[in-house]
Amino acid sequence: MPFGSVVFAFAVGALIVGATGANPFSAYAGLLCGGLGIGCTQGENPALEISNTIVFAIPLITAGVAVALPFRAGLFNIGAEGQLLAGSIACTAIGIKFNTLPAPILLPMVLVGGMAAGALWAGIPGVLKATVGAHEVVTTIMLNYIAQWLLRFLIIGGPLQLGPGTSKSLPIGEGARLATLLPADNSLIIFGLPASVYRVHTGLLIALAAAALFAFLLWRTSFGYEIRAVGQSQKAARYAGVSVRRTIILTMVIAGAFSGLAGAVQIAGVDHNLTDKYFSDTTGFDAIAVALLGLGSAVGIVLAAVLFGALHAGGAIMQSDAGISSNLVLVLQALILFSIAANFVGAIRRGLPFGRAPAALPPELPPAAGLMTEAAAAPPEPT
């Protein structure tokens, strides 16, 4: 992970807090408590704070993978949000329609259904890119809008609407829900609170499995090699006998399946129904930042997702404990992204006489992944 960018963001964030007349140390103490449950002074429950952070991190991990994989093939998937919505819509529709089925049948159905919908949503730009060369940045963004408006139609006046005047769907059946790690019981007391307040759910295991699968696919399979080859140089890949079209389409389809899974897990594990909050959901966009910050590696993505989850969960605690607007969290996220994109932490380091020489860009990184390194992207060496 580009730690320099994170340190830079927090340093500038502290200056901003200081400039508004507040105390940066109490702000970050609030973030640390709310994000990781460390050093809480005002009666917060550390276990609850950690639980909240993980709940926020789960969809970011899976969606982060969905951005990182196409990166390796030289594709910029800005459509993770739309694919995530497609997955959550499919999950909800199936979970309502077959709400009487038992969990062993229904749960795989909603998760696979979500993956299929996400795969379809990402497959469209994949096919367009491979056949007519339509740029995936444009097409995936447009499909985000289509997914958002489809969702609007479905839960406001459409077939999934709960009732007149509402802007949410019916809840999915009990069998379609992912269990929480702790029993969802109001009367059982764990760590001093009712067990049901800890919302960490088994989707955590699914997200970690998705990250592991991503690493395996990329580095241990011949298809992963093809993805990297296409990302490196389409011409060279073609010369080596790789079908570039097939690789582009399949990469997008798999990425969409990951995004769709993120949406399905969010419905099955946390929300249990579609609500108007999904109109303004930003998980798929935050996932781009997570993929960049995680340098496109599975471990990096998990760490970056936990950082973003901790910032999200910590913001509210910071606001009530230190009296600093939780908007600071958005500023920090933006600063992290900005310093990764502008790459000037690496530039500063190179400029210093005692500075470390920039790490050479690993030759297997595609041009689009240049954003994922601290060093300036060198032109890929011919292999």
Partner 1 sequence: MAHKHFRFLGVVAAAMVLTMACGGTSGGGTPTKTYKIGLVTDIGGLNDKSFNHLADIGLEKAKTDFKIQGDVKESKSGDDYVPNLTDFATKKYDLVIGVGFLMQEAVGTVSGQFPDIHFAIIDGAGTDAKGVDLKHPNVQSLYFKEQDAGAMVGVMAGWLEKNGKAKKNQHIIGAVGGISIPPVDHYIAGYKWAAKMEDPSIQVKIGYSNNFTDPAKCKGVAKSQIDAGADIVFQVAGGCGLGVLQQAGQSGVYSIGVDADQKDADPSVIASALKKVDVATYTAIKNVVNNQFQGGALTFSIANEGAGYSIDNLDVPAELKAELDKVLGQIKSGALTPPADIPA
Contact footprint for partner 1 (CB under 8 A): 42-45, 48, 52, 56, 156-157, 162-167, 170-171, 186, 193-194, 196-197, 199, 270, 272-273, 275-278, 280-282, 312-313, 315-317, 319-320, 325-326, 329-330
Cβ proximity to partner 1, 42 vs 383, nearer residue: 42
Cβ proximity to partner 1, 25 vs 153, nearer residue: 153
As measured in angstroms, the least distance from the Cβ of 320 to partner 1 is: 4
As measured in angstroms, the least distance from the Cβ of 91 to partner 1 is: 15
Cβ proximity to partner 1, 328 vs 345, nearer residue: 328
- Six token digits for residue 381: 């060496």
- Angle, helices 136-155 vs 103-132, to 10°: value is 140
As measured in angstroms, the least distance from the Cβ of 284 to partner 1 is: 13
As measured in angstroms, the least distance from the Cβ of 95 to partner 1 is: 12
Half-sphere exposure of 151 (CA within 13 A, CB side): 30
As measured in angstroms, the least distance from the Cβ of 192 to partner 1 is: 8
Question: CB of 376 within 8 A of CB of 343?
Answer: yes
Q: Shortest CA distance to 54 belongs to which of 67, 39, 37, 30?
A: 37
Cβ proximity to partner 1, 228 vs 312, nearer residue: 312
Instruction: Give the separation between CA 238 and CA 241, rounded to whole angstroms.
Output: 5
As measured in angstroms, the least distance from the Cβ of 252 to partner 1 is: 27
- Six token digits for residue 215: 């690493």
Cβ proximity to partner 1, 52 vs 373, nearer residue: 52
Question: CB of 109 within 8 A of CB of 119?
Answer: no
**Hey, is 169 helix, strand or coil?**
strand
- Six token digits for residue 276: 């108007």
As measured in angstroms, the least distance from the Cβ of 258 to partner 1 is: 20
Beta bridge pairs of residue 168: 275
- Please tell me what DSSP assigns to residue 79: T
As measured in angstroms, the least distance from the Cβ of 89 to partner 1 is: 16
Q: Which helix (H) or strand (E) holds 131?
A: helix 103-132
As measured in angstroms, the least distance from the Cβ of 45 to partner 1 is: 5
Q: Shortest CA distance to 368 belongs to which of 380, 358, 357, 359?
A: 380
Give the position of tokens 């109490």. Answer: 26
Cβ proximity to partner 1, 226 vs 286, nearer residue: 286
Give the position of tokens 């699968």. Answer: 213
Q: Would the CA dihedral through 337, 342, 343, 344 be positive or negative?
A: negative
Other Cβ atoms less than 10 A from the Cβ of 145: the count is 11
Instruction: List Cα–Cα distances, 270 to 35, 202, 267, 321, in angstroms.
Output: 19, 10, 6, 26
Greatest Cα-to-Cα distance within the chain, rounded to the nearest angstrom: 69
